[in-house]
Amino acid sequence: MRRRGVTVLLGALLTTLLSIGVLAAPIPYVVLGPGPTVNTLGTEDGKEVIQVTGRETSTSAGQLRLTTVGVQPSVKLRSAIQGWFSDDEAVVPRELVYPPGESREEVEERNAEDFKVSQTSAETAALRELGYPVQVVVKTVAGDGPSAGVLKPGDVVTSVDGQPVTAASRLTELIRAKPAGTALEIGYTRDGAAATAKITSREQDGRPRIGVEIDQQQPHPFTLTISLEDIGGPSAGLMFALGIVDKLTPEDLTGGRIIAGTGAIDDEGRIGPIGGIAQKLVGAKDAGATAFLVPADNCAEAVRNPQPGLPLLRVATLDEALTALETLRAGGEPARC
């Protein structure tokens, strides 16, 4: 009996130790949770998030808060089990966040670059909304290319076959929309005078081109700077764009409310989908938000993960986001997910 009792005791102890070891072992998953939110109209680390020099800015009684997702990159089984049973967290395969073949540092570097691009696109979209159009300017003309003798450095390309060129990416898109060898009618201005010319595209590197190097410019008589650290990815673009518009117009876009949101944005103000919408909704609710701007393509997921008392406002463009906020200020009901 004594020997049997010792055996049972040792077996129980061994099972316990093994269980502890298993629970403490790392697994190939990450835990996503609500990250910090930031008021783009406020300050962070003692600096204004959006800084404007050379022009007066307005103040707002409310807030426009960007939302983020916190990532726990090294997960043990115990944490994963807790995450699986949590309403605020999600446990996902590690490769969805850190693709195979890429180090954590490489992923973070790419996210930092995406964040910078989101700031640039937010500025471009907001300034376009404020009446400062983008100019696609010819930098150089290939001496033996299709545009030689037709376009010159400094020309502003305005259209292709009657379709307006609203951004550098749009010019590329319009040229590539038709096969190489197509005669394109290129609209441009030179020294303020409008003109058109026929230029036949030519294949280069497998794609139709017209033999020019271009630059995107957006002249405006003031300077914009976005100052925010330790955030990555493109999803802050929409809230940055709204913050810029708010600061440079007399209207208080918030109407005194705390408005949260998320969404990538391109130079033409189109809002793209993002990841982690469920966790961002939790973060927004915790920050006191009374409405959340949701990219149209994220609406289905947002509806599956609602937060009590947090309306989900569906937006696909910067114009739609501004309209939604205007409707809120007027006491109306903006379009919802």
Record the pTM. Answer: 0.84
pLDDT at residue 88, as a whole number: 73
* Mean of pLDDT values over 61-78: 84
> pLDDT grade, residue 230 (50/70/90)?
confident
Q: Helix 104-129 vs helix 237-247: angle between axes, to the nearest 10 degrees?
A: 40
Q: Which residue has the tokens 């990219």?
A: 295
pLDDT at residue 16, as a whole number: 44
Residue 138 near residue 212, CB atoms below 8 Å: yes
The string over 230-244, giving b where at least 16 C-beta atoms fall within 10 Å of a residue's C-beta and e elsewhere, is: ebbbbbbbbbbbbbb
Is residue 328 pLDDT above 90, yes or no?
yes
Is residue 84 pLDDT above 70, yes or no?
no
The residue ranges of DSSP E strands in 230-307, in sequence order, are: 258-261, 264-265, 271-272, 291-295
Residue 230 half-sphere exposure, CB side, CA atoms within 13 Å?
8
pLDDT at residue 6, as a whole number: 40
Which 3-state string (H, E, C) describes 234-251?
Answer: CCCHHHHHHHHHHHCCCC
**Mean model confidence pLDDT for the chain:** 88
Q: What does the block give as tokens for 146?
A: 């299709």
Is residue 10 pLDDT above 50, yes or no?
no
- Secondary structure class of 1 (helix, strand, coil): coil
pLDDT at residue 81, as a whole number: 64
Cβ-based neighbours of 63, under 8 Å, separated by 6 or more:
39, 41, 42, 254, 257, 258, 259
What backbone torsions phi and psi does residue 194 show, to the nearest 5 degrees?
-80, 145
pLDDT at residue 95, as a whole number: 74
Tell me how far apart the alpha carbons of residues 331 and 325 are, in angstroms, rounded to a whole number.
Answer: 10
Tell me how far apart the alpha carbons of residues 272 and 249 are, in angstroms, rounded to a whole number.
Answer: 25
Is residue 72 pLDDT above 80, yes or no?
no
Tell me how far apart the alpha carbons of residues 232 and 215 are, in angstroms, rounded to a whole number.
Answer: 26
Is residue 211 pLDDT above 90, yes or no?
yes
Is residue 154 pLDDT above 70, yes or no?
yes
For residue 31, what are the β-bridge partners? Answer: 72, 91
* Mean of pLDDT values over 172-187: 97
* Mean of pLDDT values over 270-281: 95
* Mean of pLDDT values over 132-150: 96
Cβ neighbours of 295 (radius 10 Å): 26
pLDDT at residue 33, as a whole number: 86
- DSSP 8-state code for residue 308: T
Burial class (CB in 10 A: 0-12, 13-18, 19+), 306: middle
> pLDDT grade, residue 222 (50/70/90)?
very high
Which helix (H) or strand (E) segment holds residue 66: the answer is strand 63-66
Selection from 66, 63, 95 nearest residue 235 by Cα? 66
> CA torsion 94→95→97→101, rounded to 10°?
120
* Mean of pLDDT values over 3-30: 49
